[in-house]
């Protein structure tokens, strides 16, 4: 009891300090606004300095096992993911105009003095670049001879031509030293200029390009489009909802200005920090904006209610009294929402952690501005304060009466429908393939489809095999590689496997005399020569061998498949290698494709712990603030179940989910808990709430704020469903549906549970 009383005493003193600060700030409005203006200028001046990057590693922590595999692979082979440029003549037999275009492109990429040369290229794989390694100097090898060499040399046909030799591929390893936004944007512009030049010079060829830079710059364009159109549309929807709810343009604009100030301060902190955020972190600012609006909505409706009941009071009394009345739920809502977003620190992805911390910082500014600056912003000497919220209150009375008419039946209906949606979680499949984020007519997908139709693949994953020193040069080791490669080629939907076998075979075939025996019978000296010399024969872009020849790298070429397909294929290959005598340490699947395939799965498992802890902390805070363990327990169900129900509904509709699903519980829990707090706070302070009529009266007073918040947040987030980026579309659907389901839960389920348990308070 002493501990509880001491905690209550501390909380009372904190409230008194807040009330004193509110009165002082309001009474000295000029000084207060001057201080706030200086504060905003100092912090907000760095708002334009926010650093973003499309580096995919921002979505993987340092101790992520798949990232570690990728970094080990890069350390051993020193190669980045390949960029592919496909030249398709549509005519079989390696026609001369196709070979001419390929040679012209290769010469550009090999000439540092050419204006279109890419200076961050680390390796080039193409027929022209491979010819000297085969003993055919480019300047002495006419294109007519290349037509025949392409048929006779596996080192050319296996890597650079499709089956009927109607198309060729140029493979670049690009390792840009600067992963900042300006550098990557410039790199993308260079590649676009190169392809545009080639298309203009060879209009009869179909030229397509795919790679890391083009893919992630397409993501950037999608984010930029959202920032340019969708996020302002979200603010406009909030404006319309607030204007409809309050019937007062000045009050509506005042609320939006306070929300905008919160965003400006948050952007300023992000700029001052110097931290490099993932491009998707821009959504943090819109979340801060909408949450600030949501907090002030309840206060404005409380002002309207007080204005009707006490019409003789002056506006400054109405404003201060309303803020004082709702300081507890507003403060509690900010704290619990902050806890929800801080739980994102349990995610594996640094990008999600940064987003959670950024929103948490924004909510600190939001609380400060909501309690101390908003009362000043809502005051006007020129016009009388008038909150015309009759329309929203009429709708609210309908909801309150609907609950009172049949509380048990309505609660059962809502619960059954939510549980039915929950069953979709049993069918959930995580799919994080980046290409799923774009519509089918997007230029990136058009290029991908062109290359896939021509070669049967466009992307790759990797497997690295480790050997003891000298073991890789043995005939039995090469025989095992042949067995593994042939087995992988038979797996669906593998398009091809790039391995050193064609290089070795090419070497054996062109010896004098050619070797025609079995691979197990190759003389050791001959095999050693072909392996070591073959390492440089047209394979620089792949990097089959580590420098010390203790590791072998195979590149598995794939068409567009789901993340689940990548995970399944990786598991099959790992099982096969174990059966062949390798261990998990000596045969590892790697690559950006493998890493991203596990993104949501890993983050979801981690976020289960983070979300559970957040819910526990939030329920404890609610219990302490409202002095009721029953209310603490009641706060969990109406906030957790809607998020899971919306996720289940998405699965029933679409089947697969991506990155948005892994963090949806933490994000929506932090958002929808605000309305639950306001309802529980109103019920706890209400009179005669042991009766149905008493609960209905409380609901009539509190639902206007809850309903307006739901409309502003739900409709605002639903705008994201029109995004050109799949993650934002999923996030928009899941968040908006969760908000609406949570509203139904708060209205039709929560009051009934409160009434049942109030006697045990």
pLDDT digits (tens, 9 = 90+) for 136-187: 888 888 998 888 888 878 778 888 899 899 999 998 887 777 767 777 788 8
Q: Which residues pair with 208 in a beta bridge?
A: 86
297, 312, 311: which is closest to 378 by C-alpha? 297
Provide the terminal-to-terminal Cα distance of the chain, rounded to the nearest Å.
16
* Other Cβ atoms closer than 10 A to 94: 26
Which segments of 35-193 are extended strands (E)?
Answer: 51-53, 82-88, 121-125, 167-174
pLDDT digits (tens, 9 = 90+) for 81-113: 678 899 999 989 889 999 999 999 999 999 999
* Pairing mode, strands 429-430 and 656-657: parallel
Please say if the pLDDT value at position 7 is more than 70: no
pLDDT of residue 198: 95
CA–CA separation, 197 and 211 (whole Å): 18
Instruction: Note the CATH number of domain 2-45+217-432+599-760.
Output: 1.20.1640.10
Band of pLDDT at residue 597, cut at 50, 70 and 90: confident
CB count in 10 Å sphere of residue 211: 22
Predicted confidence (pLDDT) at residue 760 exceeds the cutoff of 50: no
- Nearest CA to 84 out of 450, 422, 338, 373 is that of 450
Are residues 743 and 675 in contact, defined by beta-carbon separation less than 8 angstroms?
yes
Domain locations in the chain? Answer: 2-45+217-432+599-760, 82-210, 457-593
Beta strands 206-210; 167-174: pairing state:
unpaired
The packing angle between helices 750-757 and 407-422, to 10°, is: 120
Residue 175, classed as helix, strand or coil, is coil
355-359, 576-580, 599-603, 614-618: which is most confident: 576-580
Q: Taking Cα atoms as reference points, which of 408, 424, 400 lies closest to residue 704? A: 400
Does 659 score more than 80 pLDDT?
no
Of the listed ranges 77-86, 274-283, 752-761, the one predicted with least confidence: 752-761
**What's the confidence (pLDDT) of residue 56?**
67
So what's the pLDDT on residue 641?
Answer: 78
pLDDT band at 255 (very low <50, low <70, confident <90, very high): very high
Q: Is 290 exposed, middle or buried (0-12, 13-18, 19+ CB in 10 A)?
A: buried
Return mean pLDDT, the chain.
Answer: 82
Measured distance CA(442)–CA(92) in Å, rounded: 28
Q: How far apart are CA 667 and CA 662, in angstroms?
A: 10
Tokens of 528: 């050693």
Strand runs (DSSP E) across 439-549, as ranges? 459-466, 496-498
Name residue, tokens 């809850």.
Answer: 706
Task: Please state the rounded mean pLDDT for residues 248-261.
Answer: 91
**CA atoms of 703 and 523, how far apart (whole Å):** 85
Q: From residue 624, give the alpha-carbon distance in Å to each of 3, 11, 596, 610, 613.
A: 12, 10, 42, 21, 17
CATH of 82-210, one of 1.10.238, 1.25.40, 3.30.70, 3.30.1490: 3.30.70
Residue 10, Cα to own-chain centre: how many angstroms?
Answer: 40
Band (pLDDT 50/70/90 cuts) for residue 418 is confident
Which positions ≥6 away from 709 have C-beta within 8 Å? Answer: 294, 297, 298, 674, 675
Q: How many CB atoms lie within 10 A of CB 276?
A: 18
The rounded distance, in Å, linking the Cα atoms of 530 and 588 is 25
Count CA within 13 A, CB hemisphere, residue 497: 23
Render 18-78 in DSSP notation, one character per residue. HHHHHHHHHHTHHHHHHHHHHHHHHHHTTGGG-EEE--GGGGS-TT-HHHHHHHHHHHHH-
Separation CA 462–CA 81 (nearest Å):
10
Would you state the structure tokens that stand for residue 325, as one six-digit string? 């009345």
Confidence of residue 50 (pLDDT cuts 50, 70, 90): confident
The answer to whether 709 and 282 have CB atoms below 8 angstroms apart is no
Whether the Cβ atoms of residue 15 and residue 328 lie closer than 8 Å to each other:
yes
pLDDT digits (tens, 9 = 90+) for 118-136: 888 888 888 898 888 777 8
Can you give the pTM of this predicted structure?
A: 0.77
Phi and psi (nearest 5°) for 121? -75, 130
For CA atoms 345, 348, 349, 352, give the dihedral sign.
negative
Cis peptide bond upstream of 493, omega within 30: yes
pLDDT digits (tens, 9 = 90+) for 24-43: 888 888 888 899 899 899 99
Do you know the residue count of the chain? 761
pLDDT at position 196 is 94
Our CA angle for 635, 613, 714, nearest 5°, is: 50
In three-state secondary structure terms, 384 is coil
What is the reported pLDDT for 573? 94
> CA angle 287-293-294, nearest 5°?
90
Examine residue 513 and say whether the peptide bond preceding it is cis (omega within 30 degrees of 0).
yes
Please list, in sequence order, all residues whose beta carbon lies within 8 angstroms of the beta carbon of residue 688, skipping any fewer than 6 positions away.
Answer: 694, 697
With a CB cutoff of 8 Å and minimum separation 6, the contacts of 30 are none
pLDDT of residue 52: 73
Q: What is the mean pLDDT of residues 49-68?
A: 75
Residues 6+ apart with CB under 8 A from 468: 550
pLDDT at 302 over 90: no
Distance, CA of 124 to CA of 406 (rounded, Å): 73
Place of tokens 């392409």: 150
The pair of structure tokens assigned to 108 is 């550009």
Is 742 in contact with 638 (CB distance < 8 Å)?
yes
Could you give the C-alpha distances from 256 to 263, 696, 715, in angstroms and in order?
A: 11, 31, 16
How confident is the model over 592-601, as a mean pLDDT? Answer: 77
Q: Are 696 and 396 in contact (CB under 8 A)?
A: no
Q: Rounded to an integer, what distance in angstroms lies between the CA atom of residue 622 and that of residue 604?
A: 26
Q: Would you report the helix, strand and coil content of the chain in percent, each value rounded to 5?
A: 70, 10, 20
pLDDT at residue 10 is higher than 80: no
- For 305, the 3-state DSSP assignment is helix
pLDDT higher at 198 or 681 = 198
Average pLDDT estimate for 404-417: 86
- pLDDT > 90: percent of the chain: 16
Q: What does the pLDDT look like over 195-222, one tens digit per residue?
A: 999 999 999 999 999 887 777 777 777 6
Compute the distance between CA of residue 661 and CA of residue 656 in angstroms, rounded to an integer. Answer: 10
How many whole angstroms separate alpha carbon 732 and alpha carbon 521?
62
C-alpha to C-alpha distance for 142 and 148, rounded to whole angstroms: 11
Phi/psi class of residue 462: alpha, beta or left (left: φ > 0; alpha: ψ in -120 to 50)?
beta
Say which DSSP state 549 is in: S
Name the packing angle between helices 212-225 and 443-455 (round to 10°).
Answer: 150
Q: What is the pLDDT of residue 204?
A: 93
Which is it for the CA torsion 678, 679, 680, 684, positive or negative? Answer: positive
Interval 419-454: pLDDT, tens: 888 887 777 766 666 666 677 777 888 888 888 888
């Amino acid at each position: 009891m002493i501990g509880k009383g001491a905690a209550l005493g501390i909380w009372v003193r904190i409230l008194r300090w807040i009330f004193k600060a509110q009165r002082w700030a309001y009474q000295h409005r000029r000084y207060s606004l001057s201080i706030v203006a200086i504060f905003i200028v100092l912090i907000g001046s760095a708002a334009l300095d926010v650093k973003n990057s499309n580096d995919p590693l921002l979505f993987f922590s340092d101790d992520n096992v798949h990232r570690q595999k990728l970094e080990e692979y890069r350390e051993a082979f020193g190669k980045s993911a390949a960029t592919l440029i496909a030249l398709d003549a549509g005519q079989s037999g390696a026609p001369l105009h196709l070979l001419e275009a390929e040679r012209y492109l290769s010469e550009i990429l090999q000439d540092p003095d050419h204006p279109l040369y890419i200076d961050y290229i680390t390796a080039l794989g193409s027929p022209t670049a491979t010819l000297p390694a085969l003993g055919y100097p480019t300047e002495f090898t006419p294109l007519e001879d290349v037509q025949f060499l392409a048929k006779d040399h596996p080192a050319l046909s296996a890597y650079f031509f499709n089956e009927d030799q109607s198309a060729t591929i140029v493979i670049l390893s690009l390792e840009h030293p600067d992963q900042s936004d300006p550098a990557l944007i410039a790199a993308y512009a260079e590649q676009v200029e190169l392809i545009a030049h080639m298309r203009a010079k060879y209009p009869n060829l179909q030229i397509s390009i795919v790679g890391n830079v083009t893919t992630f710059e397409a993501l950037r364009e999608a984010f930029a489009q959202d920032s340019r159109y969708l996020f302002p549309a979200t603010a406009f929807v909030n404006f319309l909802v607030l204007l409809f709810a309050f019937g007062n343009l000045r009050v509506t604009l005042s609320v939006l200005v306070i929300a905008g100030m919160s965003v400006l301060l948050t952007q300023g902190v992000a700029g001052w920090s110097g931290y490099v955020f993932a491009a998707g972190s821009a959504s943090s600012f819109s979340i801060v904006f909408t949450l600030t609006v949501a907090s002030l909505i309840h206060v404005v409706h409380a002002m309207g209610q007080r204005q009707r009941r006490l019409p003789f009071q002056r506006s400054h009394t109405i404003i201060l009294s309303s803020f004082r009345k709702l300081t507890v739920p507003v403060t509690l809502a900010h704290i619990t929402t902050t806890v929800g977003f801080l739980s994102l620190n349990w995610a594996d992805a640094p990008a999600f952690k940064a987003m959670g911390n950024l929103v948490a910082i924004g909510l600190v500014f939001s609380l400060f501005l909501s309690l101390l600056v908003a009362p000043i912003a809502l005051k006007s000497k020129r016009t009388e304060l008038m909150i015309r919220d009759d329309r929203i209150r009429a709708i609210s009375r309908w909801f309150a009466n609907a609950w009172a008419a049949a509380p048990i039946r309505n609660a059962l209906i809502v619960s059954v429908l939510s549980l039915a949606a929950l069953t979709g979680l049993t069918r959930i499949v995580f799919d994080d393939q980046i290409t799923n984020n774009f519509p089918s007519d997007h230029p990136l997908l058009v290029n991908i489809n062109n290359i896939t139709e021509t070669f049967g693949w466009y992307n790759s994953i990797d497997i690295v095999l480790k050997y003891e020193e000298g073991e890789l040069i043995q005939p039995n080791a090469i025989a095992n590689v042949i067995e593994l490669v042939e087995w992988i080629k038979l797996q669906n939907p593998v398009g091809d496997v790039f391995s050193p076998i064609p290089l070795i075979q090419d070497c054996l075939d062109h010896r004098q005399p050619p070797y025609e025996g079995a691979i197990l019978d190759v003389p050791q000296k001959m095999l050693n020569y072909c392996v070591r010399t073959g390492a440089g024969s047209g394979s620089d872009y792949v990097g089959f061998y580590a420098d010390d020849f203790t590791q072998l790298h195979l590149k598995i070429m794939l068409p567009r498949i789901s993340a689940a397909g990548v995970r399944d294929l990786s598991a099959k290959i790992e099982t096969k290698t174990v059966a062949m005598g390798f261990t998990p340490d000596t045969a590892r699947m790697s690559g950006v494709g493998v890493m991203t395939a596990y993104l949501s799965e890993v983050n979801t498992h981690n976020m289960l712990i983070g979300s559970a802890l957040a819910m526990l902390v939030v329920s404890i805070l609610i219990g302490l603030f409202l002095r009721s363990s029953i209310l603490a327990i009641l706060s969990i169900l109406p906030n957790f179940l809607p998020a899971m129900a919306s996720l289940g509904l998405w699965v029933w509709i679409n089947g697969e989910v991506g990155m948005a699903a892994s963090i949806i519980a933490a994000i929506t829990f932090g958002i929808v808990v605000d309305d639950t707090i306001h309802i529980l706070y109103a019920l706890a302070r209400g009179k005669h709430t042991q009766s149905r009529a008493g609960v209905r009266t409380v609901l009539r007073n509190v639902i206007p704020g809850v309903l307006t918040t739901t409309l502003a947040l739900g409709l605002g987030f639903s705008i994201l469903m029109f995004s050109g980026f799949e993650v934002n579309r999923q996030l928009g659907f899941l968040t908006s549906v969760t908000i609406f389901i949570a509203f139904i839960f708060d209205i039709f389920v929560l009051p009934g549970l409160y009434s049942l348990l109030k006697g045990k308070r």
